[in-house]
Amino acid sequence: MRIVTPRRTILFDTILLFASTVLAVVAGWVIISSTAPGWMLVIALAGLAFIAVGSGVARWVSRPDHLKAMQSHRTLEIANGSLGYLRQGLTEKSAGAVCRLALEHSEAAAVAITDTERVLGFAGIGEDHHVAGEPIMTRGTREVIETNEHRILENSAEIGCPQWECVLKAAIVVPLEMRGQPVGTLKFYYMHRSLLNETQIAMAEGLARLLSTQLELSELERQTELACRMELKALQAQIHPHFLFNTINTIAMLIRTDPEKARELLRDFARFYRRTLEATEDLVPLEQELEYVRTYLAFEKARFGDRLEVIEEIDTGVQGLLVPAFAIQPVVENSVQHGMKEVDPLTISITTRRAGSRIEIEVTDDGAGIAKDDLSRVLEPGFGKGLGIALKNVDDRLRGYYGPGSGLTVKHAEGGGTQVLITVVLGETDRGGSDDA
């Protein structure tokens, strides 16, 4: 790394030292001279006071810890403001916003961000001819991408701007990385080489590291979202064969005893599976998911008759809440599969409630319950599948979409049976999904 002396600080200290020396000589002469009038004595004392205060200020301003604190504060201000933009990835829109933010909090004349081929964002002096979307022109920038090491450009020739009247005469170019590989550059431009110092270099490198971390996090979020989508597609192809056979057998029996009911169920069954196989939404309104649950329960009621009862207590204020598709139906199906007794009826209750940013959907049954040994395993991969969808998958997708605090909790219900609590903790950007937000 090339070290550049902080020239402005040294210049300030030199001027202050020269002035202090002159005043010290004058003050000494006045104090020693017994013939000096009173007004000169006052001036001399004021001069000495200036020397003391000036020296203290010079030492404080030029302290390394003070400079580091200012640098760190500016860097964190830019990094904090860029979080919302870089979640979108490295695009022209996000790069342009970060460049404007960095320009505001730095001493640079202009700031630019590139990917490996073109300029993504530019802010400051020279915006009229340094245009986003154009190919990278600076050889030094390409060298940074090739070597993954920073470069200091010391004159117009090294910057390589084709506009001869361009006033940008120096620049710091640092790489932006993802998983150790350069994906672009961050560039701070200055109007003169003397304005580029050690502090500016350290700030540029520190900011580049923070922005690189943010880019890696945005890519991780994107990969997580993609994995959830692919997993949902795979789940849609996993149709539980027992449910399929049982429903078809139920409809077949009703053809003799209640043809009209059989035709109605057959139409519902077609809609049910069409939605199962063709659904493309990752997140659906809670009311839509509940309609899917009601359709599923209609088939089970046709099969079990009066032995199955369903009670709903749905808060209308949360019907617009977005939940992962197939988040509630597998829980309800597990209640039917594990809770149905030989003779006694099974009652399933579906209740929703909201407390601030916390939404809870509770599915409780009074059935046979889950064996004690199995209760601790219900959120293990592959256990408790409904339509091929394990409860573990529902839990993972809730946590993937909504973060810590969200997911499933399974326990024995009071008086027997099973209670499954589906929890969604809304972030600031999620709260628009409910009707009352």
Q: Do 426 and 350 lie in a common domain? A: yes
Looking at the 3D structure of the chain, how many domains does it have? 3
The CATH code of the domain that includes 295 is 3.30.565.10
Q: Do 428 and 325 lie in a common domain? A: yes
pLDDT band at residue 61, thresholds of 50, 70 and 90?
Answer: very low
What mean pLDDT comes out for the span 138-161? 89
Q: Would you state the structure tokens that stand for residue 74, as one six-digit string? A: 């500016």
Cβ-in-10-Å burial (0-12, 13-18, 19+) of 193 comes to middle
* Predicted pLDDT of residue 429: 47
The CATH code of the domain that includes 116 is 3.30.450.40
* Predicted pLDDT of residue 174: 92
Q: Do 220 and 244 lie in a common domain? A: no
For residue 68, tell me if it sits in a domain.
no
Q: Do 54 and 94 lie in a common domain? A: no
pLDDT band at residue 111, thresholds of 50, 70 and 90?
Answer: very high
For residue 230, tell me if it sits in a domain.
no
Distance CA 224, CA 219 (A): 9
Q: Do 122 and 213 lie in a common domain? A: yes
Distance CA 78, CA 125 (A): 19
For residue 66, tell me if it sits in a domain.
no
pTM of the prediction?
0.49
| Helix 391-402 × helix 198-236 angle, to 10° | 150
Q: Do 263 and 398 lie in a common domain? A: yes
Q: Which of 24-38, 182-196, 400-414 has the lowest mean pLDDT?
A: 24-38
Percentage of the chain with pLDDT > 90?
Answer: 15
CA distance to 89, 168, 316, 321, per residue, from 428 (Å): 20, 41, 21, 13
For residue 232, tell me if it sits in a domain.
no
Which range scores top for mean pLDDT: 44-48, 81-85, 235-239, 394-398? 394-398
For residue 67, tell me if it sits in a domain.
no
For residue 233, tell me if it sits in a domain.
no
For residue 71, tell me if it sits in a domain.
no
* Predicted pLDDT of residue 405: 86
Which of 181, 201, 224 delimits the end of a domain?
224
Q: Do 110 and 207 lie in a common domain? A: yes
Residues 6+ apart with CB under 8 A from 105: 74, 77, 78
Q: Do 246 and 310 lie in a common domain? A: yes
Residue type at position 400? G
Q: Which domain holds residue 50?
A: 7-61
Mean pLDDT of the chain: 76
Q: Do 363 and 292 lie in a common domain? A: yes
- Computed on alpha carbons and rounded to an integer, the radius of gyration of the chain in Å comes to 35
